[in-house]
A and B are shown apart, each in its own frame.
Chain A
Amino acid sequence: MNCQRFENMVSELARGQMMAAEQRGEALAHSEMCEKCAARLRDEDMLTRGLQSLAAEMKTLGAPAAVESKLLEAFRTRHVVTPIASRRSNASYWAAAIAAMLLIAISVVVFRWSNGADEPREVVKQTEPQATPENKVPENKPAEQFTAGVQEHEDLLPQRVKPKRARNSGVRRPASAQLANHVNNEIATDFIPLSYMSAASLQEGGQIVRVQLPRSALANFGLPVNMDRYNERVKADVLFGVDGRAQAIRFVQ
């Protein structure tokens, strides 16, 4: 045993770590012979005792009880409010809730839009009794797509118009134009736009004018025409905007 080897194992020796009995004996024997290594071993022993005293002093220390209480509370909150097992299903609950809220929001928007679109219908109720083709259609701004077919005949030739088939006609109608009503016990199709028509234009107001058209006009709007009654006329309501332009038409039975 030399001083270098002793130095390498002096910490283990002082800490009482397991080592071969023969090695320990050699180290101790060397420390008896070498004063420097003996002092080194004494220092290590003292350090070990100091560290053991510190460890013993702190051995009873622990976190305050409040820490445990907080942790248990946090654990309860975590497992009661958002338990691990149900955390996944919560995602689907949230998705369903969001979808429901979106549906409600969309419904509200559509409802308000429809209410807004009802305004022209209010006009219908007010103006319909006095409305005649002659005095309601603005003379200076006739509905270009429509005036050619306007007739002055008052005779009504009832012809059943099937709104459902009209919906399949391929003519795109905005939701706001779905004003199929029973005004004065009449059956009417939805309003069919004659030009670009938005909900805003409907809300601006306007007038509805009752007209009669050749039945063949139904074909212009993709509606079925009874060829047996081809020469007869059919009633229709033309919606004129505030600018005097014909905005939409619906056929009435």
Chain B
Amino acid sequence: MTNGLNWRMNLKSDLSDSELLRSMLAGDEEALALLYRRRQGGIFRFALQMSGSKTIAEDVTQEVFLFLMREGHVFDPARGSVSAFLMGVARNHVLRRLRVEHLLAPLSDDSDDDGPFVHPSSELCPLDDLTRAETIESVRKAVLSLPSKYREVVVLCELQDISYGETAEILGCAIGTVRSRLHRARALLLEKLRPVAAVEETGSATVRCFA
């Protein structure tokens, strides 16, 4: 029986996301299973990278597909791909959960209209001194500490490797906005990953490496 199910699913594996969604809405369970297996990873990772919580990531993944069962008919192919639609739904769920649970790490500076970013000196405590694991952990923490609007472009463009265009679809903004936010987000990440210069009363800087 399992072989039969797998055989039928293999037949459908060539179907596009839109076709699977249509079949799913018509009551085809295999279509749901295929679509889920195709898209759940990205959604789960997106939620995990945005929230840092596996519980939230699991909940969001489940909520996204439950939403798809209930409201899948609202998907409009003319407005974008199914994956972008799902990621957009996931984004809404993640942000709602984060608002509720107050997990957002606030930054004092949360505006696109910030002044020019002054990059700290590059000679101090370079990232390549870190071991790989430490680097990954530091980057993960730095990403999580970004304001949500910067975090989401980093997660989508850098970690999920989604194009600017699709990211713009997911976020509902212009490609230029995605580009500028990503530029700003990377600058903030570098700032967080670099040593913090504590200016002494005398005006001279002492360097403390957080790596």
Contacts and interface: CB of A to CB of B under 8 A. Distances in A.
Interface of A: 11, 15, 36, 39-40, 42-44, 46-55, 57-59, 61-64, 67-68, 70-72, 74-76, 78-79, 83-85
B33 A68 contact: yes
B27 interface: yes
Counting chain B CB atoms within 10 Å of each CB, the highest count among A50, A52, A79, A84 belongs to A50
Contacts of A40: 119, 122
A48 B143 CA distance: 13
B12 interface: no
B175 interface: no
Interface string B131-151: 010011011100100000000
Interface string B41-64: 101110011000000011001100
A51 B158 contact: yes
A53 B132 contact: yes
Interface of B: 24-27, 29, 32-33, 36-37, 40-41, 43-45, 48-49, 57-58, 61-62, 65-66, 69, 119, 121-123, 126-128, 132, 135-136, 138-140, 143, 154, 158-161, 182-183, 186, 189-190, 193-194
Nearest to A59: B45
A55 B25 contact: no
Contacts of A11: 182-183, 186
B127 A50 contact: yes
Contacts of B136: 50, 53-54, 57
Contact of B189 (A47, A67, A70): A47
14 contacts: A11-B182, A11-B186, A43-B126, A43-B194, A47-B190, A49-B135, A51-B143, A52-B158, A53-B132, A53-B135, A54-B159, A62-B41, A63-B62, A78-B69
Contacts of A85: 27
B32 A75 contact: yes
B143 A76 contact: no
B62 A71 contact: yes
8 tightest A-B CB contacts, nearest first: A39-B122, A46-B127, A50-B139, A62-B41, A63-B61, A63-B44, A51-B158, A55-B159
A214 to B, nearest CB: 78
A62 B135 contact: no
B44 A74 contact: no
Contacts of A46: 126-128
A79 B29 contact: yes
Contact of B44 (A50, A54, A61): A61
Counting chain B CB atoms within 10 Å of each CB, the highest count among A39, A54, A58 belongs to A54
B44 A62 contact: yes
Contacts of B36: 68, 71
